[in-house]
Structure 1
Amino acid sequence: MKRQVKKSLVLAFSMVVAGVLVTNCTKKSTLAEEPGSSGQWAEKSGKAVVAADVFKHPGVLNTKESLDIIGNEVDASPTGARGIAYNQVKSYVDNVQPSNAYVAVVTVAGGSSPQSETNFKKDAILSYALALRWAKTGDAQYATKAKNILNGWAYAFQSFAVTGGESRQAALEASWAAPNFTAAAEILRRYTCRNGATSGWSSTDINKFTSFLNNLNQNYIDKVVNTYHMTNNWAVSAGYAKMAIGVFEESLNLYNTGLGIIKERLPNLIQADGSMPGETCSHDDFVHFQYSLTGFSYAANIAAIQNDASVYSDGSSRLRTGYIYLDKIIRHAVTDPCGVTWDNSQIQPGIDIANRRYNTVETNRIQAMGDPHGPTGDNCFLGFTTYTHHQVFP
């Protein structure tokens, strides 16, 4: 299995939330499952968790309002806090090149990163960074580069091949990569820049990209809960991915399936004291602990964009309790039930989303540990949340 490690403007608007992150993935060859529910989650059930039948767009991590706000702030003060955070996006776009190696079969492995896997995941991160830069500047060159990446993989990709380590690795890889690609695609498809520019992504290409997402979901992500019955951070990532794809495809059924997974896992994975024995006991680190916090934060953010902020408060704000526990562990103010201590893991940028919502002493303290939260070479989760989300309520 993979491990990821990551280093971690004041404004109020009134609508919603959006978030993401970039994290460094190293791998473990074994995976322990957390005991818990193993019920089936099928899109065909049609049971709605949220009654809304009209999605807000853009609605995967960012909104029209939030993208406009952060762009205006950078224009007004290029050397201010938002401008400094935006420089993380610019630097990534300027220094990371598309792989241009779009293949039918992506090789993945537990314990190592084959080149095609690295290309697949890095291209997803880059497409999002390009989409953010296009949204800020309205410069067509960045939209074109982002579209080329999305189209490249959409037309080429057919399947994953697992060559070693964790045999179920493909399901996790799809759960990580799908929302990253989707966040970029949602901006390109649905955002109109402040200068009036649109990306010009064709309906033919959008349909092909939708088929690509459906392949990832139906043949890989779905297996996380329905075949492998995972209940730990894998399930959280799968639920988040389904929500993102559901918004992009305007599939209430798929969106609610993902949200249902998130809501079922939240109070079962994060205990009342904020600990997560299912993560720390299984892995002896706080990397996987943060995987779960990150997935929950991003799912909560997407749901809030769609006018449902309940994930933030579910289980007596169990997500907030998890972050408070993380702060205690970092400060050695509490002993983990499994005896695991803070391992100097880099703080993941989901904290910008959580701190914006909760604004506690603890979340402020964590947020300050690694600001701004830009890319650090990881390919598992999106980042740039100090630019996109810090103190921005779209």
Structure 2
Amino acid sequence: MLTTQASLDQVAAQLKAGDKARVAGLQQVVAYLAKHPIPTSFPSVVYAVAGAGSPTEDQIRRDAELAYACALRWAATGEAAYARQARQILDGYARNFQRYSTSPKPDGSPTEFRQTYLEAAWVAPTFVAAAEIIRYYRLGGKTGAGWPAADVAAFSTFLKKLQTDYVDPLPAGTSWVNNWQVSCAYAQLALGVWFDDRAEYEKGYRYALAVQPQVFYANGNVKELCDRDCHHPQYTLTGLTNAAEIARLQTGDTALYALHNQQLRVGWEKLLDALEHAPGSCTDCSAHPAVWPGIETAYAYYRTPRLAALRERGAPYGVPGDDTFAGFTSLMQPAGAR
């Protein structure tokens, strides 16, 4: 989804040659795996809590990233144990997950059911990113991860449940336009790739094209940067960047990167202005310096000095602090200008 046979082969070769940047990127994967043991039990019901979290919500987000970390480590090093661990996580959710539900917020007020739509839209693409590698990647072009067809089919059933019950209903479940819609479009693109479903893919692609202009102001700022806080706009920027990268890899289409005079690039650069509290920036994010791993992908495409400066604030990149969106971009992004 966000990698290819060729890009993963390149990463493995660079690691073998001792490339310092790649080794640093792999270390983020190693550190995540060291911090989070492979689970032996998986929730049947995941409880969404708006603005907070629950043990099951935290676990499914964390486990999606963990499966991706295992898949990337297997592809990068050829160590079969990590392919088995990735399969253990993917199979665990395929066998156990039944549904999302909600729990009250910390103040006791109810969590609206539509929060489950967003939670599913966050985890589905990361699960797909892991599963695509385990399903299709071949070490040295020959040796696969050995994922049985029956297990692949069971995992597809799990993803279909996320798609049908939660991701696809999201647009009708909200009246505002912000990172929620971006997350939905990204998830629909990813699920379309997994299912080889052109209709689902095109639905996500058209939705991304429609939503992207609505989440920016005319001056290039993400609306949530000026109107909300310093981290929600990075949900928008990362989701749009990942959607654009899926389209580029799948069909060679770079329209999402180019849309409205590279609106996406400008949005990332406006974030840098806010982090630096530059004159004219719409907010001051200097006290909130975290940069999300989507910048690595954006920089790999645009290669501008401003994005290089933003990328350098946090490289190498692991995962977002709340385990939303596929991480470890410092390991998986192809080197050199496109």
Instruction: Give 3-state SS (helix, strand or coil) of 2:274's partner.
Output: helix
Q: Does 1:387 align with 2:327?
A: no
- The structure-2 alpha-carbon separation of the partners of 1:314 and 1:118, relative to structure 1 and needing over 3 Å to count, comes to same
Q: Which amino acid aligns with 2:74?
A: W
Q: Does 1:125 align with 2:70?
A: no
Measure, in 1, the Cα distance between the counterparts of 2:22 and 2:46.
Answer: 36
1:280 and 1:340 in contact (8 A); partners too: no
Measured after TM superposition, the shift of residue 230 of structure 1 is 4.3
Measured after TM superposition, the shift of residue 391 of structure 1 is 3.0
Which deviates the most, 244-253 or 380-389?
380-389
1:243 and 1:254 in contact (8 A); partners too: yes
Q: Does 1:271 align with 2:217?
A: yes
- Aligned pair partner of 2:2 in 53, 58, 61: 61
Q: Does 1:171 align with 2:137?
A: no
Measure, in 1, the Cα distance between the counterparts of 2:166 and 2:336.
Answer: 34
- The structure-2 alpha-carbon separation of the partners of 1:212 and 1:392, relative to structure 1 and needing over 3 Å to count, comes to farther
Which whole-Å deviations, capped at 9, do the CAs of 1:186-238 have from their partners, x for residues lacking one? 00011111273201111111111111111111111122202324421010011
Kindly report which structure 2 residues correspond to 1:65-104, keeping only aligned pairs within 5 A, or say none: 65-77=6-18, 80-104=20-44
Identity, in percent, stands at 34
Measure, in 2, the Cα distance between the counterparts of 1:259 and 1:209.
Answer: 24
Measured after TM superposition, the shift of residue 343 of structure 1 is 4.1
Q: Does 1:109 align with 2:49?
A: yes
Which deviates the most, 156-165 or 341-350?
341-350
Q: Which residue in 1 is equivalent to 2:169?
A: 223
Measured after TM superposition, the shift of residue 377 of structure 1 is 5.0
Q: Which amino acid aligns with 1:182?
A: V
Normalized per residue, which structure has more helix?
A: 2
TM-score normalised according to structure 2 size: 0.93
Measured after TM superposition, the shift of residue 98 of structure 1 is 2.2
Measured after TM superposition, the shift of residue 329 of structure 1 is 1.7
- The structure-2 alpha-carbon separation of the partners of 1:180 and 1:393, relative to structure 1 and needing over 3 Å to count, comes to farther
Unpaired stretches in structure 2, ≥5 consecutive residues: 106-110
Instruction: Give 3-state SS (helix, strand or coil) of 1:100's partner.
Output: coil
Q: Which residue in 1 is equivalent to 2:277?
A: 332
Which deviates the most, 102-111 or 180-189?
102-111
Measure, in 2, the Cα distance between the counterparts of 1:327 and 1:377.
Answer: 19
Measure, in 2, the Cα distance between the counterparts of 1:341 and 1:185.
Answer: 36
1:293 and 1:350 in contact (8 A); partners too: yes
Q: Which residue in 1 is equivalent to 2:207?
A: 261
Q: Does 1:304 align with 2:248?
A: yes
1:271 and 1:318 in contact (8 A); partners too: no
Instruction: Give 3-state SS (helix, strand or coil) of 1:107's partner.
Output: strand
Which whole-Å deviations, capped at 9, do the CAs of 1:19-50 have from their partners, x for residues lacking one? xxxxxxxxxxxxxxxxxxxxxxxxxxxxxxxx
1:286 and 1:343 in contact (8 A); partners too: no
Q: Which amino acid aligns with 1:302?
A: I
Q: Which amino acid aligns with 2:103?
A: T
Q: Which amino acid aligns with 2:181?
A: A
Measured after TM superposition, the shift of residue 347 of structure 1 is 0.3
> Over aligned residues, Cα RMSD in angstroms?
1.8
Instruction: Give 3-state SS (helix, strand or coil) of 1:161's partner.
Output: strand
Q: Which residue in 1 is equivalent to 2:148?
A: 202
Unpaired stretches in structure 1, ≥5 consecutive residues: 1-59
Measured after TM superposition, the shift of residue 288 of structure 1 is 0.9
Which whole-Å deviations, capped at 9, do the CAs of 1:82-136 have from their partners, x for residues lacking one? 1121121122223311232212211121132211111111111000000001111
Instruction: Give 3-state SS (helix, strand or coil) of 1:347's partner.
Output: coil
TM-score normalised according to structure 1 size: 0.80
Measure, in 2, the Cα distance between the counterparts of 1:191 and 1:390.
Answer: 16
Measure, in 2, the Cα distance between the counterparts of 1:111 and 1:99.
Answer: 25
Q: Which residue in 1 is equivalent to 2:322?
A: 378
Instruction: Give 3-state SS (helix, strand or coil) of 2:325's partner.
Output: coil
